Amino acid sequence: MPVRPIAIANRHPRLRLDRRTVARVMATLDAAFPQAKIPDGELSLVFLTDAALAQLHADFLDDPTTTDVITFEGDAALGTAGEICVSVDTAAAYARQHQRDFSAELTLYLVHGWLHLAGFDDLVPAKKRAMRRAEARAMTLLAKARVTPRFTLKAAK
């Protein structure tokens, strides 16, 4: 299976990331779950502030609240696999509040978005449980493959 092109846009002013490892996360998921319904084509990953993701949430889903991940489906005819938009601020706050590793939390958001593109849903309890199991499997797979991106936040000025 060919590796799909990955476009990474870091729109968070303090986030530092290793783009190559982030792209490897997506390639590892694609390879591990070949039955996923994700169209061929470029996959876009966007790292945003809470305010920017809340604006997308308002513009596209009529909900102005902050959220962790928004996923937009792609179109094979247009050569796009989809777009995963994640809130760096939400990941940092959640990690801090729950004594979790920030890099692991942000990686989980990428996994969550990828699973949405693969056809998983988390709006009803039974489907949400299935998605949580798939997230756990994916995170374990990434850890075993030693594909864990390192994300850091520069100190605020």
Contact 36, 81 (CB under 8 A): no
CATH class of this structure's domain 6-153: alpha beta
Contact 81, 66 (CB under 8 A): no
Q: What is the pTM of this model?
A: 0.95
Return the domain boundaries, the chain: 6-153
State which amino acid sits at residue 120.
F
**Radius of gyration for the alpha carbons in the chain, expressed in angstroms and rounded:** 15
> In tens digits, what is the pLDDT along the chain, a chain of 157 residues?
457 899 999 999 999 999 999 999 999 999 998 888 888 899 999 999 999 999 999 999 899 888 999 999 998 888 899 999 999 999 999 999 999 999 999 999 999 999 999 999 888 898 999 999 999 999 999 999 999 899 999 987 7
Query: Whole-angstrom Cα distance, residue 156 to residue 139?
Result: 29
State which amino acid sits at residue 85.
C
**Whole-number Cα distances in Å, 41 to 3, 18, 49, 76, 103:** 10, 22, 26, 6, 26
